[in-house]
């Protein structure tokens, strides 16, 4: 039996094509994935992300615990509401999950983890808590639903749907959240997302999620499925857990070095292993040169420095060309041409530094 | 789901139209284009290629996945639809108007053994 979010009936009523996504019954599109993608790049679209798990960490010493538990440094979080992207690592220095942590109060941090990994993440964190901070409470918020509204018009349309939220949320800077009272109870509104566009992610009490969804539709926000979510995040150069990194690879070989704080003196889970094993591979972007197919995960990549593999690939509606993330030998540089095995042919692809597109525009250097 | 009664079908979701000159025209069904999602690339067979029944001879790629297209009957490819290869989204918009290739069957009677509209509809229901 697939798990359902509180918006399941809303998706079905809108004619969504539903798929099994890691045990959840989720919309992959409501008709055209490319139209949904373009709506987010040019106007406003929304995603049901209620399958992702919100977990609240509460109690004295929460920050100190997270300093040790997370690879990124929560000391960067100084203003209440501020968010940080981080990996959760194994002691071996590989990736258990990637997450966003919000600093709300010194004794209250909110963590959002991936759907498919939520159970193991919570078990892992509880294990760490038992030995290091047994008095902290870790509470999965299964009572909350979450809607991500994304696009250049996303904030304006949220305010049209929720006029009372504008005063509190208009001053929010990117990667900052706040709590807002509404007729549907308390909302948690964060200026975050997974598309490379402006917008909000809104957590709401599950019984009111369909009301908010309906109000957003009335305000002109287009429902978008997991298909568009994947092409948008890939254009924005964002990793997908389970595809671009997992428990078998180092974050330093997954394009995530910027999230790993090896500079500060603090110790954290996985630090010693990362220091002991410098990366020999890198995650980089590829753009197909010409036509001949679509780059996809698991296709082999041949370079002058050895072989690699595509971890995520798709057709980019914004670039009108196929793009990919690939794990390649260290030293392969942007601008170089590599060969990708697509079916029985080798197709040329250019190495680029992600992101590929953000804020509605291609970020690629002109082809030389 | 749109399944025209005047066409023949395969369980692998090709539609087949018999032409007056004895050739057949092949495309993918409305059900297939909806399941694949937005098409972005087509690889069509060269004219002159001999194919066996159920031989993979074309590829359609959507944003989501690549999928083989099979020759519904044995024969020789006589033409590929080059304009539609340049505009794959036409297959999503008009699956029965956007043919992929034409072939001359090795055995004219073979087409008559393919699924009719009712049998194809039943085969989709079983999926």
Q: Where are the domains of chain B?
A: 8-122
Average pLDDT over residues A96-121: 98
Sequence-distant (6+) residues with CB within 8 A of B21 are none
Is the confidence at residue A16, as pLDDT, over 70? yes
Q: Which residue of A34, A292, A296, A322 to mutate against B (max B Cβ within 10 Å)?
A: A34
Average pLDDT over residues A87-110: 98
A28 reaches B (C-beta below 8 A): yes
B60 CA: distance to closest CA in chain A (Å): 9
Q: Per residue, what are the HEC states of A194-245? A: CCCCCEEEEEEEHHHHHHHHHHHHHCCCEECCHHHHHHHHHHCCCCCECCCE
User: Token pair of A84, please?
Assistant: 């940080």
Is the confidence at residue A192, as pLDDT, over 50? yes
The pLDDT tens digits of the residues spanning A22-50 come to 899 999 999 999 999 999 999 999 999 99
Residue A291: what pLDDT?
87
Question: How big is the CA angle at A347 (ends A343 and A352), to the nearest 5 degrees?
Answer: 125
Question: Chain B partners of A34 at a C-beta cutoff of 8 Å?
Answer: 38, 63, 89
Query: Contact at 8 Å (CB) between B103 and B51?
Result: yes
Residue B126: what pLDDT?
61
- The region that residue A118 occupies, defined by phi over 0 for left and psi between -120 and 50 for alpha, beta otherwise, is alpha
A30 reaches B (C-beta below 8 A): no
Distance of CA A87 to the CA centre of its chain: 11
DSSP one-letter string for A122-138: HHHHHHHHHHH-TT-EE
Q: Where are the domains of chain A?
A: 8-51+143-234, 280-368
Question: Chain A partners of B89 at a C-beta cutoff of 8 Å?
Answer: 34
Say yes or no for a CB contact (<8 Å) between A315 and B34.
Answer: no
Say yes or no for a CB contact (<8 Å) between B63 and A34.
Answer: yes
Residue A109: what pLDDT?
98
Residue A364: what pLDDT?
86
Q: Which sign does the torsion angle of CA A94, A100, A105, A108 carry? A: negative
Count the residues in chain A: 368
A303, burial (CB in 10 Å: exposed 0-12, middle 13-18, buried 19+): middle
Say yes or no for a CB contact (<8 Å) between B41 and A33.
Answer: no
Say yes or no for a CB contact (<8 Å) between B43 and A32.
Answer: no
Residue A368: what pLDDT?
47
Average pLDDT over residues B70-84: 98
Q: In the CATH scheme, what is the homologous superfamily, with its name and number, of domain A8-51+143-234?
A: Probable tRNA modification gtpase trme; domain 1 (3.30.1360.120)
Say yes or no for a CB contact (<8 Å) between A32 and B40.
Answer: no
Is the confidence at residue A202, as pLDDT, over 50? yes
A151 reaches B (C-beta below 8 A): no
Residue A367: what pLDDT?
59
β-pair type (A185-190, A177-182) = antiparallel
Residue A128: what pLDDT?
98
How far is residue A266 from each of residues A69, A70, A131, A234, B82, measured CA to CA in Å? 11, 11, 18, 32, 62
Q: Which residue of B31, B38, B65, B89 to mutate against A (max A Cβ within 10 Å)?
A: B38
Using CA coordinates, name the residue in chain B closest to A320: B40
Is the confidence at residue A182, as pLDDT, over 50? yes
DSSP one-letter string for B63-123: SS-EEEEE-SSSEEEEEE-HHHHH-THHHHH-TTTS--EEEEESSGGGGGGSB-HHHHHHH
Is the confidence at residue B82, as pLDDT, over 80? yes
Q: Which residue of B58, B64, B67, B85 to mutate against A (max A Cβ within 10 Å)?
A: B64
Say yes or no for a CB contact (<8 Å) between A315 and B59.
Answer: no
Q: Which residue of B56, B57, B63 to mutate against A (max A Cβ within 10 Å)?
A: B63
The pLDDT tens digits of the residues spanning A287-310 come to 999 889 999 999 999 999 999 999
Using CA coordinates, name the residue in chain A closest to B44: A292
The pLDDT tens digits of the residues spanning A224-266 come to 999 999 999 999 999 999 999 999 999 999 999 999 999 899 9
Question: Chain A partners of B32 at a C-beta cutoff of 8 Å?
Answer: none
How far is residue A194 from each of residues A102, A150, A321, B89, measured CA to CA in Å? 16, 8, 21, 26
Average pLDDT over residues B87-113: 96
Residue B127: what pLDDT?
58
B103 CA: distance to closest CA in chain A (Å): 23
The model's confidence at residue A130, banded by pLDDT at 50, 70 and 90, is: very high
**What does CATH list as the number for B8-122?**
2.40.50.100
- pLDDT: is A343 or A366 the higher one? A343
Say yes or no for a CB contact (<8 Å) between B34 and A231.
Answer: no
**What does CATH list as the number for A280-368?**
2.40.30.110
Q: Compute the 3-state secondary structure of chain A and give helix, strand, coil in percent, each to the nearest 5.
A: 25, 35, 40
């Amino acid at each position: 039996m697939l798990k359902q979010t509180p918006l399941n009936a809303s998706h079905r009523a809108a004619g969504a094509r539903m798929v099994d996504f890691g045990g959840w019954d989720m919309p992959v599109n409501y008709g055209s994935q490319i139209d949904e993608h373009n709506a987010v790049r040019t106007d406003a679209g929304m995603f049901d992300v209620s399958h992702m798990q919100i977990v609240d960490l509460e109690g004295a010493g929460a920050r100190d615990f997270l300093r040790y538990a997370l690879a990124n440094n929560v000391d960067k979080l100084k203003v209440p509401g501020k968010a940080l992207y981080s990996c959760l690592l194994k002691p071996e220095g590989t990736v258990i999950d990637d997450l966003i942590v919000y600093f709300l109060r010194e004794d209250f941090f909110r963590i959002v983890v991936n759907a498919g990994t939520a159970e193991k993440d919570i078990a892992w964190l509880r294990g760490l808590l038992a030995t290091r901070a047994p008095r902290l409470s870790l509470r999965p918020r299964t009572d909350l639903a979450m809607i991500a509204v994304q696009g250049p018009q996303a904030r304006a349309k949220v305010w049209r749907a929720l006029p009372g939220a504008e005063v509190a949320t208009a001053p929010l800077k990117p990667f900052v959240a706040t709590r807002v009272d509404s007729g549907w109870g308390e909302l948690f509104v964060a200026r975050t997302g997974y598309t490379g566009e402006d917008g909000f992610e809104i957590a709401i009490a599950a019984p009111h999620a369909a009301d908010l969804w309906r109000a957003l539709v009335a305000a002109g926000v287009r429902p978008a499925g997991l298909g568009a979510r994947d092409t948008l995040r890939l254009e924005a150069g964002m990793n997908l857990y389970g595809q671009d990194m997992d428990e078998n690879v180092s974050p330093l070989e997954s394009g995530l070095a910027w999230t790993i704080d090896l500079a500060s003196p603090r110790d954290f889970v996985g630090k010693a292993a990362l220091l002991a094993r410098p990366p020999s591979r890198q995650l980089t972007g590829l753009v197909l040169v010409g036509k001949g197919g679509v780059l996809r995960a698991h296709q082999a990549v041949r370079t002058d420095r050895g072989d690699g593999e595509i971890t995520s690939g798709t057709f980019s509606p914004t670039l009108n060309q196929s793009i990919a993330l690939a794990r390649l030998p260290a030293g392969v540089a942007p601008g170089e041409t590599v060969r990708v095995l697509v079916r029985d042919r080798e197709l040329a692809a250019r190495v680029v530094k992600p992101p590929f597109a953000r804020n509605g525009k291609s970020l690629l250097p002109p082809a030389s | 789901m749109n399944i025209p009664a005047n066409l023949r079908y395969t369980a692998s979701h090709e539609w087949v139209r018999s032409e007056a000159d004895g050739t057949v025209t092949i495309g993918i069904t409305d059900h297939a284009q909806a399941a694949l999602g937005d098409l972005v690339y087509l690889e069509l067979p060269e004219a002159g290629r001999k194919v066996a029944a159920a031989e993979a001879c074309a590829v359609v790629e959507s944003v989501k996945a690549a999928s083989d297209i099979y020759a519904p009957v044995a024969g020789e490819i006589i033409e590929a639809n080059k304009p539609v290869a340049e505009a794959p989204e036409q297959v999503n918009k008009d699956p029965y108007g956007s043919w992929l290739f034409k072939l001359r069957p090795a055995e004219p009677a073979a087409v008559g053994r393919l699924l009719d509209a009712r049998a194809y509809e039943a085969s989709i229901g079983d999926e």
